[in-house]
Amino acid sequence: MPEPDAELLSLRNRVNDLDQRIVALIAERFRVVVDVAREKAASDATIRDSERERQVLAAVEHVARTQGAPVNLVRRIYRDLLAESVSRQVSSRSGVQREVALRVAVRGEHSFGFLAAQKYLSARDVDGELVVTPSYQAAVDALKAGEVDLAVLPIENTAAGSVDETYDLLRENEVSIVGEETSSVDYCLCGVSDLPLGAISQVLAAVDGLEQCSRFLQTLPNASQILHFDTGAAMRLVQAGGDATHVAIGAAEAAAAHGLVVLRRGIANHAENYTRFVVLARHPVAVELSAPCKTSLILIARHEHGALMRSLGVLAASGHSMTKLESRPRPGRPFEYMFFIDFEGNIADPRTADALDDLRSTALHLKVLGSYPATSTRGDAQPGDATPLIPPADTDVPESIAPPRPATKASKNYRLAGRGARSDDTVIPVGNLLIGGAGFLVMAGPCSVESADQINATARAVREAGAQILRGGVFKPRTSPYAFQGLGWEGLELLAAAGRATGMPIISEVMAVDQVRRMAELVDVLQVGTRNMQNFDLLRELGKVDRPILLKRGLSSTIDEWLGAAEYILAIGNQQVMLCERGIRTFETSTRNTLDLCAIPVLRELTHLPVIVDPSHGTGHRAYVAPMAKAARAAGAHGLLIEVHPDPDKALSDAEQSLSFPEFLSLMRSLQTVAPVS
């Protein structure tokens, strides 16, 4: 290329000098921002001042017009400057411990998530290494495995809406949201050299790029659209191919990194295109109360009229401002929904912690995804002065959304399980069934799944006799290590197949923390055996899954200890707990255990949770099962758990207490004549 003449060289030197002065002024501006953050912290002033931001934008736009600068460009630059200023001030009061270096997982090299992660680290003056993964799932897997410290995933876009995959990953994985970053998404069309748009024959892009630029792509009728998982890889293919008619969609920064030229900027369907990203970690972080903070959670409403409004009413009554409400289908429950909620609040604030306890008592399941520094809120509400989206409790709010009553003194050890938290009976949906309230049902099947023929025959027999749920053990905690321990995962597959064949939900015992997630994929009700009633690690894990739990009473546990064990599950977020009386150990030896039917009216008074009775384990003798089953119904139990076997005397476990098919049919008929106490 010919050398530039002296005049052009002089102009370029002037541009270089201006660039250096611009960068120096930006650096000086952020040094002042540090002083501003320090003054705000000392005076407890709010970090974000929306009116001040509007004034700044108006002023710089006026200067841009008078000086002949591109107004849209100036506006975009200053919005990024203001967002970075807020991020830095938030991070200075977020309580996040600064690391020497962080490894951050992102999907796609030089993607917008890649740029958002760089922005997040820059605002915190943290060195970091960005680890590129082929998918969002891979980013979360790397985080859980400890291969990275953080993962950055998009959660919503102002044009395309919510990112469903991210919501699914938050639901399925035990990770915490510890930050957010909102970035302008300026999609560009990039190629190896400039050419008329009509000559383009192929466009490579990730799915979000194709979706958010669909209108522009319609103006390229001769171009085929090629979906690629990674923006960076798409641009590498375009650059390596050298075909000017092949182009890619992505950020201008990605084009520069891969040696491509920008053919067209701003090709998204909407000019104001922003994506909000969430920053995930393995564990939550504490955020100072003085910093603006959001809390995100997943809520499943109870199977009751007005249940969602009652839950939202808790936020209204406690003065929390809700910033997002998103519904998603509930897996395994067709046409039922879970709700993703963001609200302005900090779990470290007692007011917010109390509101979350109240939400647990109104919801069927609650999972707190994390409290984290907020870089975008409806305002800068501080504790006590939030402006709720729902009227506060002292206005004309219908009685149906009033918050639950506080726990009473009698239930201080189990405030969510006690009547003080909820006066109405909890009703738990299982398949098309409802357990609790005025209903009554029977769960029946073998103590252990022994073979396909055995479980299939039993399933058909108990179904025909009127049982609604199929029980069967696959992992068996036996007193003797030489006794039959169950078929394990093979048995679970047989049980699930028998349930599907007869149209019955299934219940089976879970024994270990590492079994919970896998069993929850197939089992409708997870049973906690008597020996695990106070296995607190197991109870906490069960609190994290969206599955009903049947909690059996411990061998020698008091009712107070039993309800305390249930509280472990409820406190984590799973309100779908049933209590199963299965007999306790006393000095009496004529029966296997002493079935404490007195526990039924006591529990009905103390707790709103459904009460199930297991007369099979409670007596240990098949001759006593029917009388105790009828007595349990008369005493007010919500259901029974009964062992049934095709040939009880040959059962591999609990042979003495298992009923034959004719005996079970006789019991089911006799139960129809029993009226529960009113």
How far is 110 from 599, CA to CA, in rounded Å? 63
* pLDDT tens column, 530-578: 999 999 999 999 999 999 999 999 999 999 999 999 999 999 999 999 9
- Once rounded to an integer, what is the mean pLDDT over residues 199-223? 91
End-to-end CA, the chain: 97
Check whether 486 has a pLDDT greater than 90.
Answer: no
Pair of tokens at residue 597: 């039917």
Residue 485's pLDDT is: 82
Measured distance CA(182)–CA(287) in Å, rounded: 19
Residue 376: predicted pLDDT: 58
Q: DSSP label at 68?
A: T
Per-residue model confidence (pLDDT) at position 45: 67
pLDDT at 410: 44
CATH of 188-264 given 3.40.605.10, 3.30.930.10, 3.10.20.30, 3.40.190.10: 3.40.190.10
Distance between CA atoms of residues 577 and 184, nearest Å:
45
User: Please, which residues have CB within 8 angstroms of residue 457's CB and are 6 or more apart in sequence?
Assistant: 646
Q: What are phi and psi of 529, to 5 degrees?
A: -75, 165
What is the predicted pLDDT for the residue at 389?
26
Angle, helices 136-144/164-172, rounded to nearest 10 degrees? 20
Strand partners, 102: 128
Q: Tell me the mean pLDDT in the region 96-108.
A: 74
Between CA 7 and CA 15, with CA 9 as vertex, the angle to 5 degrees is 105
Q: How confident is the model at residue 44 (pLDDT cuts 50, 70, 90)?
A: low
CB count in 10 Å sphere of residue 469? 25
Strands (E), 498-576: 506-509, 525-528, 549-552
Q: Which residues have a Cβ under 8 Å from the Cβ of 656 and sit 6 or more positions away?
A: 592, 620, 621, 622
Architecture of domain 433-473+507-671: Alpha-Beta Barrel (3.20)
Q: Which residues contact 65 (CB under 8 A, 6 or more apart)?
A: 71
Give pLDDT, residue 393.
Answer: 36
At 300, list the tokens.
Answer: 């499943």
Same CATH topology for 188-264 and 433-473+507-671: the answer is: no
Q: At what angle do helices 6-43 and 71-92 cross, to 10 degrees?
A: 40
Of the candidates 525, 591, 532, the one whose C-alpha atom is nearest the C-alpha of residue 557 is 532
Evaluate if residue 434 carries a pLDDT over 90.
yes
Q: What is the pLDDT of residue 380?
A: 37
Lowest mean pLDDT among 258-262, 303-307, 324-328: 303-307
pTM of the model: 0.75
The secondary structure of residue 5, as a DSSP letter, is P
Distance CA 249, CA 108 (A): 13
Which of 103-117, 249-263, 377-391 shows the lowest per-residue confidence on average (mean pLDDT)?
A: 377-391
Cβ(91)–Cβ(123) below 8 Å: yes
pLDDT attached to residue 331: 82
Q: Supply the pLDDT for residue 392.
A: 34
pLDDT higher than 90, residue 368: yes
Residue ranges of domains in the chain:
47-92, 188-264, 286-404, 433-473+507-671
Closest by alpha carbon to 190, among 142, 131, 146, 231? 231
Read off the pLDDT of each residue in 245-258 and give the average, rounded to a whole number: 92
Least confident of 299-308, 603-612, 637-646: 299-308
Could you give the C-alpha distances from 554 to 154, 567, 585, 596, in angstroms and in order?
A: 45, 15, 9, 12
CA dihedral 631, 634, 636, 637 (to 10 degrees): 40
> Rounded to the nearest 5 degrees, what angle is found at the Cα of 21, between the Cα atoms of 18 and 22?
85
Residue among 379, 317, 326, 322 at smallest CA distance from 354: 317
User: Is residue 211 predicted with pLDDT exceeding 80?
Assistant: yes
CA-CA distance, 616 to 640, in Å (whole number)?
10
CB 410 within 8 A of CB 323: no
Query: Rounded CA gap, 500 and 455, in Å?
Result: 12
Q: Give the whole-angstrom CA distance, residue 419 versus residue 417.
A: 7
Residue 398: pLDDT band (50, 70, 90) is: very low
- pLDDT-derived band at 377 (thresholds 50, 70, 90) equals very low
313 is written with which tokens? 């009413």
Class of the 286-404 domain? Answer: alpha beta
Nearest in space to 220 (alpha carbons), one of 252, 249, 255: 249
Least confident of 2-6, 9-13, 644-648: 2-6
Q: 111-125, 244-258, 376-390 — which is least confidently predicted?
A: 376-390
What pLDDT does 401 receive? 31
